[in-house]
Chains A and B, each alone.
Chain A
């Protein structure tokens, strides 16, 4: 459905949003709307527009492909922790996303050119129903849930983030993986023209990650499309990313374009980079320190004193049973 309406946006109305969406990103969106290709209310900043942003009004660009749009109809606090949330500024301003540079503020500064709509995700490999999905077609049939998770970076800092997403298991079910499929591999988009970090040989691009099938199907594992009630910003892995809360942050691969079912443990970017420091599992473990950082403690962003790191990042009750009999010192 087309709503031909030029966006009537007074500059005074933009101010609030400018903290969140960079100006050039805003300009891009405004330009899209101006040619009449998009549903203007989705991108406008007035209250009226927020009300009109139900999924049914999605533009050709789709809902989930556009950054920073309000999401509605999600199940609030489907999973939560009794800890203080990190702020939007912290979550969107302090990121490791080497596709945009090595510094923590690089992703926020240099991700504005990433075009996240249209966005296609290829699901293939050992499954009965391989397909290329537009992101909206992939996500819309599934009930969105808010999942408030701890995120523990391998660099010994952590945050608490209110993600919005869908259980990965639902998507896996739809693809009907065959009995041979024992692992799932994920691939990040490869776009050096829009991702300046990919022009340097920081890692082997594109970024790849993987999970064992039982880890991928675990109820805590989600594909996130939003946080704090809005669709993701590029620095957080827009438009769709993995979140595996009991593993170090780098396992939660961002800006996914491919999900592939395989029968062998797949290559993962950090293991390729340095197999002595990084393992395939990369479960949060205070007792194993393969990397030079001491993993026994962490600093929660926004607090001063270091705190002890919990086994499986505090999710041991839910996930430890998957690893019984596995030597976690060797399989770090």
Chain B
């Protein structure tokens, strides 16, 4: 039962990719196909990032703790779509012009942001296995807080990409800010709660 649920979620997460590949192979991408590939992979990576970040707040609020079982998968799908996004940028948009790509990363702030988010995801994906979780112990949690920075960088990447800051990029940035803000508030609240406890102990 539990396995069936996991497989279903996995397939669901893969659907946007399968659909994009189908559209690519059947020539049903937009009038600017490169832009279509880039936008679709990018937006899905950001969507999965938001979902990953939402697990903890939703658990805390609803007490639905089983959600934690899906966090790793969602995180890895974030990375998967980010890889696809990066691959499209390097291989299709820039057509492997590495000198120009390097210039882009250094000179164009919105690319710098996207690149930073992507690079920071790599150690997270690599240490996502049960073995690494055990080996790193407490340091694992600390390391995986990097996803907060990924969230900030990815949001800015999208915000700075558009010519006018309105609509969808703003909604994503606000959502990420709320999800991170929730953690901050939770932290503050629990540290306040802890102190009197210590006094009474």
List chain A positions with a Cβ less than 8 A from chain B: 89-90, 93-94, 98, 102, 104-105, 155, 157, 200-203, 273-274, 289, 291-294, 296-297, 299, 301, 304-306
Whether B166 contacts A292 by the Cβ 8 Å rule is: no
Whether A98 contacts B110 by the Cβ 8 Å rule is: no
| Interchain CA distance A293-B163 in the complex, whole Å | 10
User: Of B31, B107, B110, which is within 8 A of A104 by CB?
Assistant: B31
Hey, which chain A residues are within 8 Å of B109, CB to CB?
Answer: 292
Hey, which chain A residues are within 8 Å of B123, CB to CB?
Answer: none
Whether B164 contacts A98 by the Cβ 8 Å rule is: yes
Hey, which chain B residues are within 8 Å of A104, CB to CB?
Answer: 30-32, 35
User: Of A102, A292, A304, which is within 8 A of B108 by CB?
Assistant: A292
What 5 A-B pairs come out closest when comparing CB atoms?
Answer: A94-B31, A202-B164, A90-B31, A292-B108, A93-B31
Kindly identify, within residues 66 to 102 of chain B, every residue whose CB is under 8 Å from any CB belonging to chain A: 92-95, 97, 100
Hey, which chain B residues are within 8 Å of A299, CB to CB?
Answer: 32, 34
Known contacts A93-B31, A201-B166, A203-B164, then 10 further A-B pairs from the complex at CB < 8 Å, ordered by chain A residue:
A104-B35, A157-B32, A157-B35, A200-B166, A273-B164, A291-B163, A294-B107, A294-B108, A299-B34, A306-B97
Q: A294-B108, A306-B94 are in contact. Are A102 and B31 (CB under 8 A)?
A: no
Interface band, chain B: 20 to 34
Within the complex, the shortest CB–CB distance from B170 to chain A, in Å, comes to 11
Tell me the nearest residue of chain A to B160, going by C-beta. Answer: A292
Tell me the nearest residue of chain A to B104, going by C-beta. Answer: A294
Hey, which chain A residues are within 8 Å of B110, CB to CB?
Answer: 292
Most chain A CB atoms below 10 A, which of B34, B92, B97, B161: B34
| Interchain CA distance A301-B155 in the complex, whole Å | 28
Hey, which chain B residues are within 8 Å of A94, CB to CB?
Answer: 30-32
Tell me the nearest residue of chain B to A277, going by C-beta. Answer: B163
Hey, which chain A residues are within 8 Å of B100, CB to CB?
Answer: 294, 296-297
Within the complex, the shortest CB–CB distance from B160 to chain A, in Å, comes to 7
Kindly state whether residue B27 has any CB partner on chain A within 8 Å.
no
Whether B166 contacts A102 by the Cβ 8 Å rule is: yes
Kindly state whether residue B167 has any CB partner on chain A within 8 Å.
yes
List chain B positions with a Cβ less than 8 A from chain A: 30-32, 34-35, 92-95, 97, 100, 103-104, 107-110, 160-164, 166-167
A-B contact pairs, 5 of them (CB 8 A): A102-B164, A291-B163, A292-B109, A292-B160, A294-B107
Hey, which chain B residues are within 8 Å of A293, CB to CB?
Answer: 108
Tell me the nearest residue of chain A to B166, going by C-beta. Answer: A202
Tell me the nearest residue of chain B to A87, going by C-beta. Answer: B31
Whether B31 contacts A301 by the Cβ 8 Å rule is: yes
Hey, which chain A residues are within 8 Å of B108, CB to CB?
Answer: 292-294
Hey, which chain B residues are within 8 Å of A102, CB to CB?
Answer: 162, 164, 166-167
Within the complex, the shortest CB–CB distance from B93 to chain A, in Å, comes to 8
Whether B166 contacts A306 by the Cβ 8 Å rule is: no
| Interchain CA distance A89-B95 in the complex, whole Å | 26
Whether B95 contacts A305 by the Cβ 8 Å rule is: yes
| Interchain CA distance A104-B35 in the complex, whole Å | 11
Within the complex, the shortest CB–CB distance from B172 to chain A, in Å, comes to 14
Whether A301 contacts B32 by the Cβ 8 Å rule is: yes
Hey, which chain A residues are within 8 Å of B35, CB to CB?
Answer: 104, 157
Within the complex, the shortest CB–CB distance from B26 to chain A, in Å, comes to 17
Within the complex, the shortest CB–CB distance from B161 to chain A, in Å, comes to 8
Within the complex, the shortest CB–CB distance from A329 to chain B, in Å, comes to 16
Whether B166 contacts A105 by the Cβ 8 Å rule is: no
Tell me the nearest residue of chain B to A278, going by C-beta. Answer: B163
Within the complex, the shortest CB–CB distance from B94 to chain A, in Å, comes to 7
Within the complex, the shortest CB–CB distance from B5 to chain A, in Å, comes to 35
Whether A105 contacts B32 by the Cβ 8 Å rule is: no
| Interchain CA distance A291-B100 in the complex, whole Å | 16
| Interchain CA distance A278-B104 in the complex, whole Å | 19
Within the complex, the shortest CB–CB distance from B99 to chain A, in Å, comes to 12
Within the complex, the shortest CB–CB distance from A26 to chain B, in Å, comes to 22
| Interchain CA distance A89-B31 in the complex, whole Å | 8
Within the complex, the shortest CB–CB distance from B163 to chain A, in Å, comes to 8
| Interchain CA distance A292-B110 in the complex, whole Å | 8
Hey, which chain A residues are within 8 Å of B161, CB to CB?
Answer: 292
Hey, which chain A residues are within 8 Å of B163, CB to CB?
Answer: 155, 273-274, 291
| Interchain CA distance A104-B110 in the complex, whole Å | 20
Within the complex, the shortest CB–CB distance from B25 to chain A, in Å, comes to 16
Hey, which chain B residues are within 8 Å of A306, CB to CB?
Answer: 93-95, 97
| Interchain CA distance A299-B97 in the complex, whole Å | 14
Within the complex, the shortest CB–CB distance from B107 to chain A, in Å, comes to 8
